[in-house]
Amino acid sequence: MTLADALYFAATKLNSTKIVEISTLTGACITALGKQITGSTANDDKFYQQVHQAGLNAGELNWRFPITESLQKAVKGDVGDLKNSVPGGAGAITAGIFLEHFVEGKPFVHLDIAGPAFDKPRKYYSNGATGIGVRTLYELVKK
């Protein structure tokens, strides 16, 4: 819920016009995309394309998951307004849908870096935290 609060704060108190959020949110993303690709959800096609292109320019791959009406309904709560965990799969997608409820309609891209956040050493970084997403954000804001 701290992440939800941070998104709401960014949307309502910081005069943000667009929001990108990066987190190691779900193991489901690793199941879907493995250890080298970031999963993403977005509520705005144009903004997603900007983030996606920034990732390509940075050499950081991300894949946008589809958001369906049935998955949007799945996060609606029976007791509370929303559920932050939905049984039956698609956890990487429903997590992004859940977060979208806190951005007050602002263009939003969620990048789930659970897979590529930590790894074995490669030629361009050592073992441990990879810093995935930092180069994407740099490419996005330098324009």
- 16 vs 129, more confident: 16
Sequence spans of domains, the chain: 2-141
**In which band, very low, low, confident or very high, does the pLDDT at 119 lie, cut at 50, 70 and 90?**
confident
Q: Are 107 and 43 in contact (CB under 8 A)?
A: yes
- Residue 127 pLDDT exceeds 70: yes
Task: Work out the number of other CB atoms within 10 angstroms of the CB of residue 63.
Answer: 14
Average pLDDT for 22-41: 93
Give the pair of three-digit tokens for residue 79: 């007791």
**In which band, very low, low, confident or very high, does the pLDDT at 87 lie, cut at 50, 70 and 90?**
confident
Give the pair of three-digit tokens for residue 129: 């935290």
**Contacts of range 17-21, beta carbons closer than 8 Å, 24 or more positions apart:** 17/106, 17/107, 18/44, 18/47, 18/106, 18/107, 18/108, 19/103, 19/106, 19/107, 19/108, 19/109, 20/51, 20/108, 20/109, 20/111, 20/137, 20/140, 21/99, 21/108, 21/109, 21/110, 21/111
The fraction of the chain above a pLDDT of 70, given in percent, is 97
**Alpha carbons 24 and 119: distance in angstroms, whole number:** 13
Place of tokens 């292109």: 53
Domain 2-141: CATH superfamily is Zn peptidases (3.40.630.10)
Q: Measured over all CA atoms, what is the biggest interatomic distance in the chain, rounded to whole angstroms?
A: 50
pLDDT score for 14: 97
